[in-house]
Structure 1
Amino acid sequence: MTDRMDEFAEYRQRMNERISQIDHLGIKRFFNLDTTAYHDGALDGKTKELLGLVASAVLRCNDCIDYHLIQCVEAGWTDAELHDALNVALIVGGSIVIPHLRHAVETIDLLRARE
Structure 2
Amino acid sequence: MSKLVEEFNEYRTKMNEVILSKDNLVMKRLWNLDTNTYEEGALDKKTKEMLGLVASMVLRCDDCIKYHLGKNHELGVTTKEVYEIFAVANIVGGTIVVPHTRRAAEYWEALEENGSAK
Query: Which residues of structure 1 form unaligned runs of 5+?
Result: none
Amino acid at match of 1:83: Y
Deviation at 1:2, TM superposition (A): 5.7
Q: What do the CA deviations read for 1:67-97 (whole angstroms, capped 9, x no partner)?
A: 0001001100110101001100000000000
Query: Which residues of structure 2 form unaligned runs of 5+?
Result: none
Distance 1:76 1:57, change over 3 A: same
Matches within 5 A, 1:63-102: 63-102=63-102
Find the aligned partners of 1:78 and 1:4 in 2 and give their Cα distance: 20
Identity rate, percent:
53
Asked which structure has the greater RCO (Cα within 8 Å, sep 6+), the reply is 2
Contact 2:39/2:45 (<8 A) preserved: yes
Ranges of 4+ aligned residues in structure 1 off by more than 3 Å: none
Paired position in structure 2 for 1:35: 35
Q: What do the CA deviations read for 1:23-66 (whole angstroms, capped 9, x no partner)?
A: 22111110100111000000011110110000000000111110
Amino acid at match of 2:33: L
Q: What do the CA deviations read for 1:1-34 (whole angstroms, capped 9, x no partner)?
A: 7612111000000011111111221111101001
Find the aligned partners of 1:78 and 1:91 in 2 and give their Cα distance: 20
Q: CA RMSD in A?
A: 1.1
User: Counterpart of 1:47 in 2: which secondary structure?
Assistant: helix
* Equivalent residue pairs, number: 115
Paired position in structure 1 for 2:47: 47
Contact 2:49/2:72 (<8 A) preserved: yes
Amino acid at match of 1:84: E
Amino acid at match of 1:44: D
Distance 1:3 1:48, change over 3 A: same
Find the aligned partners of 1:14 and 1:3 in 2 and give their Cα distance: 16
Find the aligned partners of 1:14 and 1:45 in 2 and give their Cα distance: 25
TM-score, length-scaled by structure 2: 0.94
